[in-house]
Amino acid sequence: MRNLIPTPTRALLLASIIALISLALSACPSSSSPTSIPKEQPELEQPLPAGSEAEHPLKQHLSSSAQLILPSDPSYPLLAHRWSSNPLHAPHPPSLIVLPTTPSDISHTIRYANAHNLPFLATTGTHGTTRWLSTLRTGGVLIHMRNMTRFDLSEDGKTAVLGGGLLSGEVVSRLWERGKQTTTGVCQCVSFSGPALGGGHGWLQGRYGLVADQVVSATVVLGSGEVVHVSDSDRGDLFWGVRGAGHNLGVVAEWRVRVHDVEEGRGGSWAYEMFKFEGGRLEEVYELANGMLETQPEYAVHWSAWGLDDEVDPDEPVISVSVFYNGPMEECHEYTRPIRDLGPVAYSSGVTDYPGLSAALGVDFAGVYCQDQRTAYIRAIDVDRYDIAALRNWFDVYSEMLAAEPALAKSVCMLEGYSVQAVQAVPADSTAFPHRHQRLMLSPFTFYDEIGNRTLDDEAARWSKAMGIAAFGTAQRRSYVNYGYGDETLQALYGYEPWRLEKLRGLKRKYDPDNRFRFFAPLEQDGDGGVV
């Protein structure tokens, strides 16, 4: 296979792909205590007028710190822009953008949209890529949550209130400054809320559980505009649904989450080691990985990635295996001895603190994968063990794609193996997250730069689907909702137990009977989606 991209760029890609992002879109706001909102519709004028924001009829109902942006505003292009901007997997340009600062702002915006029969979407990091987003047509209202950044640590230091507009990296840094930590998404630039609404994987889940498992309560704005408080003791049914299927149920204005002392466990130091292998070693690498799964401690995370790296193999993708270990390098080095004994062709290591993990992987705010991608198609394959034959088939399809279509050369494959002790300690029926027994998350990430090339769009979609089919092998199809492509069955996303979908549909009828939240892995759709 000929060189598809320059060597320095390819080396940078492999150095960074070891950690791609934990995507997330969703609704996520912030503010103070729940605000009482009148249930009646505000008397608003009819359709969206042209002219200045100050004259807009919604403006008088918003707080003084809220912003209302029309397409004529110079800031509109930046606020309407998304991480992956291909219109096949992105909402169409909104006719109005609101940046709320209180739950009341969100409420009045939703009421306004409903009064004018306008669809609306709430977002923070803008990283969602499901094809369902493209069903939000031109003329909608975008509720952009980035001004809702409240952060309050409780007096006892056991919980924190987080505004729904905070990014994962902001939560990590603010807690770290206070000697605290909690589970968040891995990539600094994704929102805190997006992962939480879908369950949320992260470095610390082996010790503390998923992002959603940290949630004590939340302030939620419903599709009617009503603001409600949810917890185990207050609308417990909605609280159950928000943690795993929350994109379908409301805009979370703020979260109260459990936080933990950094020094209560193994301290703040992390060691990491990275190994590279040629593609022909795949069977050896993942047979060993299956064995290590059985003894993986709660403070170790296994990741691997496949991508192009001319320094290792000019013809085929390279396998990069990484171990991140909350502890001293000496312990990490002993733990990774079996991997080292396989004889990697390249090796690197380092020591950092918890906030520094993202930078070490290139998924900090300045990292390559926090920068805009012209088009990103993502799939999720949740499994309990590595199916070696399926991995080989997936690797071969991926290699064929790179050889056949140079425009897709930036595409990578991620295999995430977080520890799961605390995740599996949580009763499986206690939240809407359905995949607690799947220890691994496998993801083909298809990247390319062109927009408007329908031939390339079709090719990318075809290869993405082929990789997904190969990666599943004979496993039952389960997919982490935040990585969903948009053609998965509802059972694959929300669970095969009949009671799960029955309960979620009941919540939908109760809390969103008009199906206002329908643009991200919707529960109500024509049929049950497709098969990956």
Record the tokens describing residue 88, joined without a space. 């096949």
Nearest CA to 211 among 21, 485, 484, 431?
A: 431
Shared domain for 166 and 276, answered yes or no, is no
Shared domain for 260 and 276, answered yes or no, is no
Shared domain for 259 and 275, answered yes or no, is no
Question: Of the candidates 264, 284, 313, which is a domain's last residue?
Answer: 264
Strands 269-278 and 346-353: antiparallel
Nearest CA to 272 among 342, 354, 181?
A: 354
| Site of tokens 């795949």 | 282
pTM beyond 0.75? yes
CATH assignment at residue 173: 3.30.465.10
Domain-embedded: residue 416: yes
Domain-embedded: residue 122: no
Give the pLDDT confidence score for residue 526 in this predicted structure.
Answer: 54
Domain-embedded: residue 47: no
Strands 412-417 and 440-448: antiparallel
Shared domain for 260 and 280, answered yes or no, is no
3-state helix, strand, coil in the chain (%, to 5): 35, 20, 45
Give the pLDDT confidence score for residue 370 in this predicted structure.
Answer: 86
**Burial of residue 72, with CB atoms counted within 10 A of its CB: 0-12 exposed, 13-18 middle, 19 or more buried:** exposed
CATH assignment at residue 470: 3.40.462.20
Shared domain for 194 and 283, answered yes or no, is no
For residue 42, the tally of other CB atoms under 10 A from its CB is 16
Give the pLDDT confidence score for residue 88 in this predicted structure.
Answer: 84
The alpha helices in 254-356, defined as continuous H runs, are 282-293, 329-335, 337-341
Q: Is 268 helix (H, G, I), strand (E, B) or coil?
A: coil
322 — phi, psi (to 5°)?
Answer: -130, 145
Domain-embedded: residue 340: yes
Domain-embedded: residue 306: yes
Give the pLDDT confidence score for residue 167 in this predicted structure.
Answer: 97
Using the 8-state DSSP alphabet, how is residue 71 labeled?
A: T
Letter string b/e over residues 369-396, b meaning 16 or more CB atoms within 10 A of that residue's CB: bbeebebbbbbbbbbeebbbebbbbbbe
Give the pLDDT confidence score for residue 298 in this predicted structure.
Answer: 98
CA distances from 422 to 157, 372, 442 (A): 21, 34, 20
How many domains in the chain? 2
Domain-embedded: residue 118: no
Rounded CA gap, 30 and 45, in Å? 27
Give the pLDDT confidence score for residue 51 in this predicted structure.
Answer: 52
Record the tokens describing residue 426, joined without a space. 């949580």
Question: Of the candidates 264, 299, 331, which is a domain's last residue?
Answer: 264
Shared domain for 237 and 273, answered yes or no, is no
Shared domain for 315 and 416, answered yes or no, is yes
Give the pLDDT confidence score for residue 53 in this predicted structure.
Answer: 76
Rounded CA gap, 232 and 240, in Å? 8
Q: 451-454 contacts: CB < 8 A, separation 24 or more?
A: 451/85, 451/86, 451/87, 451/374, 451/375
Domain-embedded: residue 225: yes
Shared domain for 330 and 234, answered yes or no, is no
Rounded CA gap, 33 and 161, in Å? 10
**Domain ranges, residue 371:** 266-490
Shared domain for 419 and 282, answered yes or no, is yes
Query: pLDDT digit string (tens) for 397-410?
Result: 999 999 999 999 99
Return the amino acid letter for 385: R
Give the pLDDT confidence score for residue 338 in this predicted structure.
Answer: 99
Please check whether residue 213 is in contact with residue 66, taking contact to mean a CB–CB distance below 8 angstroms. no
Q: Is 256 helix (H, G, I), strand (E, B) or coil?
A: strand
Shared domain for 372 and 276, answered yes or no, is yes
The alpha helices in 177-217, defined as continuous H runs, are 193-198, 205-208
- Beta pairing partners, 43: none
Return the amino acid letter for 233: S
Give the pLDDT confidence score for residue 17 in this predicted structure.
Answer: 44
Using the 8-state DSSP alphabet, how is residue 157 labeled?
A: S
Q: Is 158 helix (H, G, I), strand (E, B) or coil?
A: coil
Shared domain for 359 and 315, answered yes or no, is yes
Nearest CA to 78 among 30, 112, 110, 126?
A: 126
For residue 199, the tally of other CB atoms under 10 A from its CB is 26
Please check whether residue 238 is in contact with residue 507, taking contact to mean a CB–CB distance below 8 angstroms. yes
Domain-embedded: residue 516: no
Shared domain for 187 and 271, answered yes or no, is no
Question: Of the candidates 249, 264, 279, which is a domain's last residue?
Answer: 264
Q: Average pLDDT for consecutive 10-residue bins of the chain (532 residues)?
A: 38 42 33 29 35 83 97 95 87 96 99 98 95 92 98 99 98 98 95 98 98 99 99 99 99 99 90 97 99 98 95 92 97 98 98 92 82 89 98 99 97 97 99 98 96 93 97 97 96 98 98 98 66 30
